[in-house]
Amino acid sequence: MDQIVNPLAAHIQTVKRRLIVIGTTILVCLVLAFSFSTEMVEWLNRPFQNQLVFYGPTEALFASIKVSLLAAVILSLPVIFYQCWKFVEPALLPKEQRWAIPLFFLAGGLFALGLVFCNLVILPLVIDFFVSFGLDRDITPQLGVGTYIDFNVKFLLIFGCAFELPLVMTLLAVVGAVSAQMFARYRKHAVLAILILSAVITPDATMFTMLLMAVPLMGLYEVGIVGARVFGRRSNNNDMDLPLDPDLPMGTAGTRMR
């Protein structure tokens, strides 16, 4: 029992230490980013020409904290990926360790690409659509800074995470959990799931924003199919004819040793 408890306690301590490092890094970046919160709010305010207003004493403060927290998470991504990598490194084989660092860089690049795409393409379309809708009905737009920043931050985080879809699909195919043929076979089911997911996670429940979220996800799904087809594990029926070694453990560990 002591042999089981001691490794578990060591893992818990390792997780705790790495979470403390990640949390400290995010906190430091938050303090640094807060000094540039005014410029970041102005940058997000580009699609909306009018001046933002605030309706409560703390609304402007919390809006600055939200945008600073988003910037802090983005700036902390290298440290977050490194801590995650060091935690899983002992469990990886040498060949897998060589692939891990490029995968972390690829994940960070896809997340950044999602943020850029959302900020330069999606958010201007969404804000222009809703503001024009009100102007056509002779309604003067007067947006609160808290609601506006919250709307932008949610969209940015959603698209940053959504752009990881091709990488996730490719990794599932690499480990043999699924195949490109399976992804293609269930394409209609995936489209339905994407539409439902887009309706749930978008900040407002309108058809326009749902489609703006769903259409890029459908394109990313197709990119994931291509990645799964190129890098996915090829099925080899000869593996079934290998003689069983009684000294070779079966299951995940046995498969990795083969």
What angle in degrees, to the nearest 10, is found between the helix axes of 59-75 and 77-88? 50
Whole-structure pTM value: 0.76
Q: What is the arithmetic mean of pLDDT over 166-171?
A: 89
Q: Would you say 122 and 198 are in contact if contact means Cβ atoms under 8 Å apart?
A: no
* Neighbour-count burial of 241, counting CB atoms closer than 10 A to its CB (0-12 exposed, 13-18 middle, 19+ buried): exposed
- Characterize 180-204 residue by residue with b for buried, 16 or more Cβ atoms within 10 angstroms of its Cβ, and e for exposed: beebeeeeeebeeebbebbbeebbe
DSSP 175: T
Give the model's pLDDT for residue 257.
Answer: 47
Q: Would you say 116 and 106 are in contact if contact means Cβ atoms under 8 Å apart?
A: no
* 209: pLDDT strictly greater than 90: no
Cα distance between residue 155 and residue 114, in whole Å? 10
Helix (H, G, I), strand (E, B) or coil at 58: coil
Give the model's pLDDT for residue 24.
Answer: 96
Cα distance between residue 101 and residue 81, in whole Å? 9
Cα distance between residue 214 and residue 196, in whole Å? 9
Give the model's pLDDT for residue 239.
Answer: 46
Give the model's pLDDT for residue 203.
Answer: 66
User: Where do the structural domains in the chain lie, given as residue ranges?
Assistant: 14-162, 164-234
* 233: pLDDT strictly greater than 80: no
